[in-house]
Structure 1
């Protein structure tokens, strides 16, 4: 049995958190002014936004189970070929008998009420906490959070939606707990599962020079090229293109198989071309400013490339009608590649493999357009969403962090097994031949997958019956992630981007598809980019510049 170094939430941890919260931690003495979301006067919020000055939580990689394929970089994925069935003892219950409330998005099926859910009841027993979870459908979640904030009835733990139409730094400063004293440096060791979060994930939870959020950790590698490996082998395609010319040749070969064969949809091929031509991953930071990706020549080069692919019949002709059929198209071979993210490809393969057992899945390093190795990899901010804790006394905050720590349990721990499968004999049974936990019908019904919106552990690669795919994904990441392109505005906040950005980008995206289909010219594209600048893009830039200058 592996030797797990579990550390309970002790009274010492609670008292230390209280002492730190009372005395404060010096994370920089510079004041910062934050522009209000309506473009009004700047309002001092205190602290500093310089993420480089923060003593981030000390990364303590979970060592309780040994992966078959270790991560190549901090925050990279580990790969497993079997489920670690005997992974030690669980942590002591963290809740201390408190009652607590949480507001998070609903992750799919309706939530079974507490009175009818033995899974939820056992969760509360494991936590030693009466946890009341309110789950809201994703399409209604932002409006719900806005209403809750306006009414002042704030839950103990709340997921923050990415498109919340309000001044987030001001809201955090006034309503939610500064978690920096509780998790900074080695203090995070009191929450060993949160200590397993890479520092990248914590960086994107910083506002006003303080760590406010508990990240729902995302896979670091943001975008990668997935291919039908069986088709690559059957047709002898070059799956290691050296430059843009060879990449286009690969796309062309994919579309040349038959009358109903295409490389991919236009949007998927465009997503692969952007890093190939070196377009920024969102904003690019320069010495004195910021440049958004749509403003760059590299972006236009990728757009021109896909426009030609469309004209040459390389893209699926229904690319702009729907992408809901992409799973079927990939399974039948109508398209041979797409831009992967996370581990979503597992559903793609599972959905098609029973119909086509010969179907294989592989990964192709995206090359630099001019050659010279793989293109720098787009990487994420380190998190999908984040949860925050309402201001409270230090002991209660420490307890709530302990609950989040439970939700962050890594793959292989007893907590992870419960959170994902429930109670053995009720919610799951072991398939001894395969060595896997398998949910029962009751387990599928009661499972609360949206608890990851309180805290999500780092992604691991584990794909039963497809060990070759696990190894191939891990090997591809090891090659491509050595050179990374993070978002250039990481750690900075633009109110205008939050309030106006999504609407402005809809106009940009529509014109982008018009250009690809030949309904608009590059001159029309330039005019669209200027409209984006005038409509709020330049204001976003100025806000990012001001935020960065406040750090210096």
Structure 2
């Protein structure tokens, strides 16, 4: 993400390293819209904790009241689970104030959080300005994000836990879920029901994100919300499509025919990269972002995504693209350009690929000056038969901040004062300071677009945005057509998005099932690239059932029977 835009920044893919995602985006944009689906969730029985009681009457008693913010009106309101969009140039003199009264009481709060890069020195101009605004002395204990799970485990196993600990979802493995429940405070007395109204920006966080923040039957997390609409977009070179007269496909067969029309190996042009992630959506395969999202009740029976016909059909369709040599050779060989598509996509070596929605802005911004004719756009997802797609929601929050169970009430309230500022919406003074720092020192405004200075790129990273964030937001005043395109794509896709049975619930599978899915992703890729056959997947599913899949189904069924579903 370039420093002149606020943006949602979900992970590069459902299987890409979340660490590299955060390192690449420097987190600032991620905090605006959240967008980090969890790899695992929390609340399992094997660690001695309660299973995901995040639905039904119990949850209704715990959840904060939702009060929509009125301080700022987005140019494109959220719809069907989309982010809100902002396209207009910023007027710093016209920024709104969402926290008119300083809520901090001057206390000292220590925060441990993952950091990617070189942490700035304490007491820098950004930290000082934020602490002055909030009325709290926040002291950062930044830890290397690449090894954060190790540090996290050691700290939570000790008696020396900071006042606040940030835990990304992908670090919620092993004993971490149980430690969250035993080590961190219940925020319900401060936030449940109407109590949250003391903190208006927290009250404006969507209810689904708060539901994700219930761990062990208590409201423990301060969330980073995200859109629940799939973040994987099939991108294409609209400029080349317009020039060549290619039509955007609307079915699996139409895509295959277009791929044959585009591909000319002698001219070093292929249709696409590996389109497996789009195939999941095209064939209506349940989400693979989290283990719990892969389960759903169908005709009264709980099934897993790998057991479905749609799963096999998606793999087979993708295999045919490779078999017909319509996919760029780099994707078959696993070269770096398959995960960093920009250079060869810009060069026109392939015209279609699927990746995170944030690349829509990233690619467009990178080419805006040097290659003005270049235009990246997102295809609408379609059903494989040419009808409407069946899409499955990802979870609505993925990074959480927790308060030490031993913290005094004054410390808890100081933490909430911090969160109320960091959750301020785009277009406010609090948002600008949180995400860009001090004007003139950390950023300048150029044609209505905030551009970070060198000092801003040093100081304003990986910090206050980790405490809590506003509802999902996309804001690109320098490329308003991209912001509009992204949000409207989410809105259209959101209309076809369903929530599976365990949507929004914090769940950790028992440890004995941890490795049950280990070989599936590699087997998918082997079949797609012709190294294995569909029959090998069918055998793998049979083995999965006998080695624990059927017992795991029973475990999930009991969870559903006991707690109901959060999906609606």
TM-score range, shorter chain: 0.7 to 0.9
Matched, 1:291 2:296: no
CA distance in 1, matches of 2:114, 2:548: 29
Structure 1 residue 83: Cα displacement? 2.3
Q: Which residue of 2 aligns with 1:36?
A: 46
Q: For the Cα contact (< 8 Å) 1:361–1:469, is it kept in 2?
A: no
Matched, 1:230 2:239: yes
Structure 1 residue 196: Cα displacement? 2.0
User: Which runs of structure 2 are paired with 1:406-421 in the superposition (5 Å)?
Assistant: 406-421=421-436
Q: For the Cα contact (< 8 Å) 2:225–2:398, is it kept in 1?
A: yes
Q: Which residue of 1 aligns with 2:479?
A: 466
Q: For the Cα contact (< 8 Å) 1:493–1:543, is it kept in 2?
A: no
Between structure 1 and structure 2, the one with the greater Rg is 1
Q: Which residue of 2 aligns with 1:313?
A: 325
CA distance in 2, matches of 1:104, 1:534: 41
Q: Which residue of 1 aligns with 2:122?
A: 114
Q: Which residue of 2 aligns with 1:519?
A: 531
Match of 2:253 among 238, 241, 245: 245
Cα deviations across residues 248-303 of structure 1 (Å, max 9, x unaligned)? 2333334359732223221xx11001111111123132166532222211011000
Q: For the Cα contact (< 8 Å) 1:82–1:462, is it kept in 2?
A: no
CA distance in 2, matches of 1:493, 1:458: 19
Match of 1:151 among 151, 158, 173: 158
User: Which runs of structure 2 are paired with 1:172-321 in the superposition (5 Å)?
Assistant: 172-222=180-230, 223-239=232-248, 241-256=249-264, 259-266=267-274, 269-282=275-288, 283-286=294-297, 290-319=302-331, 320-321=334-335
Runs of 4+ in 1 over 6 A off after TM superposition: none
Q: For the Cα contact (< 8 Å) 1:159–1:385, is it kept in 2?
A: yes
Distance 1:293 1:193, change over 3 A: same
Q: Structure 1 stretch 47-56 or stretch 136-145: which is displaced more?
A: 47-56
Q: Structure 1 stretch 513-522 or stretch 197-206: which is displaced more?
A: 197-206
Match of 1:422 among 427, 437, 455: 437
CA distance in 2, matches of 1:315, 1:46: 44
User: Which runs of structure 2 are paired with 1:64-143 in the superposition (5 Å)?
Assistant: 64-73=71-80, 76-85=83-92, 86-89=94-97, 91=99, 92-106=101-115, 108-115=116-123, 117-143=124-150
Q: Which residue of 1 aligns with 2:17?
A: none
Matched, 1:441 2:454: yes
Structure 1 residue 119: Cα displacement? 1.3
Cα deviations across residues 462-507 of structure 1 (Å, max 9, x unaligned)? 2233222222222222222112133542344553377864x55442
Provide the secondary structure at the position in 2 that maps to 1:399.
helix
Structure 1 residue 242: Cα displacement? 3.1
Q: For the Cα contact (< 8 Å) 1:75–1:198, is it kept in 2?
A: no
Matched, 1:50 2:55: yes
Q: For the Cα contact (< 8 Å) 1:156–1:390, is it kept in 2?
A: yes
TM-score computed with the length of structure 2 as normaliser: 0.82
Q: For the Cα contact (< 8 Å) 1:103–1:159, is it kept in 2?
A: yes
Cα deviations across residues 31-79 of structure 1 (Å, max 9, x unaligned)? xx95214xxxxx5749944356422333323222222222223553323
Number of equivalences: 506
Structure 1 residue 333: Cα displacement? 2.0
Matched, 1:507 2:522: no
CA distance in 2, matches of 1:364, 1:498: 40
Structure 1 residue 424: Cα displacement? 1.6
Q: Structure 1 stretch 408-417 or stretch 277-286: which is displaced more?
A: 277-286
Structure 1 residue 142: Cα displacement? 0.9
Distance 1:492 1:219, change over 3 A: closer
Q: Which residue of 2 aligns with 1:60?
A: 67
CA distance in 2, matches of 1:52, 1:93: 35
CA distance in 1, matches of 2:480, 2:376: 11
Question: 5+ residue gaps in structure 1?
Answer: 1-32, 38-42
Q: For the Cα contact (< 8 Å) 2:53–2:563, is it kept in 1?
A: yes
Cα deviations across residues 69-92 of structure 1 (Å, max 9, x unaligned)? 222235533232322531223523
Cα deviations across residues 379-428 of structure 1 (Å, max 9, x unaligned)? 32111211111123334322212211211121111011111221122222
Q: For the Cα contact (< 8 Å) 1:50–1:548, is it kept in 2?
A: no
Q: Which residue of 2 aligns with 1:332?
A: 347
Structure 1 residue 527: Cα displacement? 2.5
Q: Which has the higher contact order (CA 8 A, sep 6+)?
A: 2
Match of 1:485 among 495, 498, 502: 498
Q: For the Cα contact (< 8 Å) 1:494–1:543, is it kept in 2?
A: no
Q: Which residue of 2 aligns with 1:16?
A: none
Distance 1:430 1:138, change over 3 A: same
Q: Which residue of 1 aligns with 2:12?
A: none
Distance 1:466 1:437, change over 3 A: closer
Provide the secondary structure at the position in 1 that maps to 2:78.
coil
CA distance in 1, matches of 2:478, 2:449: 11
Distance 1:436 1:45, change over 3 A: closer
Q: Which residue of 2 aligns with 1:393?
A: 408
Provide the secondary structure at the position in 2 that maps to 1:89.
coil
Q: For the Cα contact (< 8 Å) 1:78–1:474, is it kept in 2?
A: yes
TM-score computed with the length of structure 1 as normaliser: 0.84
Q: Which residue of 1 aligns with 2:383?
A: 368
Question: 5+ residue gaps in structure 2?
Answer: 1-42, 289-293
Match of 1:453 among 458, 466, 469: 466
CA distance in 1, matches of 2:234, 2:511: 29
